[in-house]
Amino acid sequence: MSQEINLRVWLKIPDAEAATVKNTLVRRMGFADLLADVKKERLFSIKVDSGDLQELAGAFARELVNENKESHKVLIDELKFEEGYVPVKVALKIEDGEAISTKERLRSRLGFKNVVDVKKAIIWKLYISGMDPELRAKEIAEGLLINPHKDTYEILGK
């Protein structure tokens, strides 16, 4: 039975891409009254079929997180988020070369033969006020965050 290690990774330093997305939403797309902030995380979902999950999570974090500029959080067999924002998960619906190469790096170069699969996504954390923040998050995802030809998105619950 495989289990999943979810590694959430975010920048400690200012994130230029998140700032650009926020500026675009506020200045050009009319979300000034609703949108307080935008933050971004990378998400690695790593399926393993054996091993000490905490130990593996630590090893994966050492390999995939740059401690000089990034922070991270590990969640085993779950994906939860804090209150105060709407998390929007954006992933490729086409083959993800970066996820494949991460899996190969963990398996081949680092010897983690128990890694079964790696999926990668971006979590956009939208700090939205007003009525129906999930509906607004859907508008933002479809209007700016995804390319419908290659991306898929999901509004994640708390």
Percentage with pLDDT > 90 across the chain:
97
**Boundaries of every domain in the chain:** 3-155
pLDDT at 1: 81
- pLDDT single digits (tens) 13-62: 999 999 999 999 999 999 999 999 999 999 999 999 999 999 999 999 99
Question: Taking the domain 3-155, which CATH number applies?
Answer: 3.30.1280.10
H or E, element range at 154: strand 151-155
148, 149, 126, 157: which is closest to 26 by C-alpha? 126
pLDDT at 114: 97
pLDDT at 127: 98
pLDDT at 108: 95
Distance between CA atoms of residues 40 and 69, nearest Å: 14
Long-range contacts of 126-129 (CB under 8 A, 24+ apart): 126/35, 126/38, 126/85, 126/86, 126/87, 126/88, 127/35, 127/36, 127/37, 127/38, 127/39, 127/84, 127/85, 128/31, 128/34, 128/35, 128/36, 128/85, 128/86, 129/34, 129/36
State both tokens at 71. 């922070």
Whether the predicted pLDDT of 157 surpasses 90: no
- pTM for the model stands at 0.94
Q: Are 25 and 38 in contact (CB under 8 A)?
A: yes
Percentage with pLDDT > 70 across the chain:
99
Residue 158 banded pLDDT, cuts 50, 70, 90? low
Tell me what the mean pLDDT of segment 67-83 comes to: 97
- pLDDT single digits (tens) 97-123: 999 999 999 999 999 999 999 999 999
The 70-76 sheet, strands edge to edge: 70-76, 3-11, 35-48, 115-128, 86-92, 151-155
For residue 7, the tally of other CB atoms under 10 A from its CB is: 22
Over the chain, what is the mean pLDDT?
96
